Structure 1
Amino acid sequence: MNTFATPQLKLIAFDADDTLWVNEPNYVNVQQRLCELLMHHIDQETLSKRFYDTQIRNLQLFGYGAKGMTLSMIETAIELTNGAVTGTEIQQIIDIGKELLTFPIDVLDGVHDVLDVLAKRYDLMVLTKGDLFDQESKIARSGLGHFFKHVEIVSEKNETTYQRILQKYNIQPTEFLMIGNSLKSDVLPVVHIGARAAHVPYAVTWAHERVGEEQLVGKSFATFSSVRDVLGWLEVTAV
């Protein structure tokens, strides 16, 4: 039974990366290129593990996104080579990182049509975490910005963040719906504050965003294979 398409629903928020457009495969590609660049210094398994650990350690300093990843790549390269990485190799790492700030935005299938329908019926928001400049640039390059009444770019998506946003827009939890690909960031904290969430998984998920099955026990949220399915779930007729 659909309990979500009610007059109470006032604000629908969409995650951005890997919900509206392709993102994580670009980061996977960059990490692979880092491994190829440094393969004569260190084996891929060791580098991948150390790089992940460095990224997580640096999140509270650099936040999410391309700039933090680039700095973590440089730090990892210096540490694992005991300083033997060359200036030329560091420049190559910087150049690879810069590509993450300019890659073409590949909007996911169905997103444009879904936003076109929902924007006529609800206030829509982009609610994404990451670097302000980077995320604003991706929104602009996507060509989707005009569908959204609000844009919120945050450093983390947790219960405190969602509660702050609801207070800011004078929205009750039952009046809010979050749609995203990450159970950790887009679903669980939303459910925990009594709001509604829809999970639209993406093919590739960063390890940091994965959660164990035990964390989902007793949690109520919808899951769809495609963002297009959200329309039927909300009982909205496409026009």
Structure 2
Amino acid sequence: MEISLEEIKVVGFDADDTLWVNETYFRDAEERFAELLEPYETKNKIDQELFRMEMKNLELYGYGIKGFMLSMIEAALELSNNEISQKTLSEIINLGKNMIAHPVEILDGVVEVLDGLEGKYRLIVLTKGDLLDQERKLGRSNLSEYFHHVEVLSDKKEKNYQDLLDHLEIDVKNFLMIGNSLKSDVLPLVNIGAKAVHVPFHTTWKHEEVEEPKEKEGYITVSKLTDILKYL
């Protein structure tokens, strides 16, 4: 379904898996975590318990690597009946530290798109996760100069977006959001009257999976980020 973007004045970008790679590193850490816990449970059970722990802790820790680290430690203690060794716990902590220290890998087409939109629209970043980690990644990305504003949200629900747009004095009809998650970057914006572009990433966290509406309204899906330049 085609949508009109003639009224768009402000373009928002998700960060993780839209501007740079993120979920891939979580999956790699999950694989290594399962290897470390192999003496205690099957891989399938370990994966299930880690995800359950993440969901249990989400309201307490929020999104991001640090909360993921704590959930891995707690899951390891439960799965091992508190028999996990100090050495293994140290390895789990190092998994998280390595994720934090990992170089930022900019996705294909990001710089081309930002160059194409800069000066034509007000560009902002709307992401969720750990504030310090997201600020660090943005700094390492060398993309900061493109953006008028960067906001790290505690969550990406309709109220979070509406409150932020109101604070920034942006009318929803003038706003377009670009991101990889239907659940977090697309549907909440459409529901408050904004427009969105869905750019799927090859890996999606289970928590972000959602059934695509049978009828697309208010958003389009593109196969690669640079396709956005055909519309803006």
The residue type equivalent to 1:132 in the other structure is L
Q: TM-score, normalised by structure 1?
A: 0.94
Following TM superposition, the consecutive aligned residue runs of length 4 or more in structure 1 with deviations greater than 2 angstroms are: none
Q: Distance in 2 between matches of 1:218 and 1:60?
A: 32
Contact map agreement 1:70 1:94 (CA 8 A) in 2: yes
Aligned: 1:227 with 2:228? no
Which residue is 2:211 aligned to? 212
Contact map agreement 1:12 1:176 (CA 8 A) in 2: yes
Which residue is 2:92 aligned to? 93
Q: Distance in 2 between matches of 1:210 and 1:75?
A: 24
The residue type equivalent to 1:66 in the other structure is I
The residue type equivalent to 2:224 in the other structure is S
Aligned: 1:137 with 2:127? no
- RMSD across aligned positions (CA): 1.0
Q: Which runs of 5+ in 1 are unaligned?
A: 235-239
Q: Distance in 1 between matches of 2:76 and 2:107?
A: 33
How many percent identity over aligned positions? Answer: 47
Q: TM-score, normalised by structure 2?
A: 0.97
Q: Which runs of 5+ in 2 are unaligned?
A: none
Q: Distance in 2 between matches of 1:212 and 1:61?
A: 27
Which residue is 2:127 aligned to? 128
**How big is the shift at 1:75?**
0.2
Q: Distance in 2 between matches of 1:68 and 1:202?
A: 22
Contact map agreement 1:15 1:181 (CA 8 A) in 2: yes
Q: Distance in 2 between matches of 1:109 and 1:157?
A: 24
SS in 2 for 1:127: strand
**How big is the shift at 1:2?**
5.4
The residue type equivalent to 2:108 in the other structure is D
Which residue is 1:237 aligned to? none
Q: Distance in 2 between matches of 1:184 and 1:62?
A: 20
Contact map agreement 1:191 1:219 (CA 8 A) in 2: no
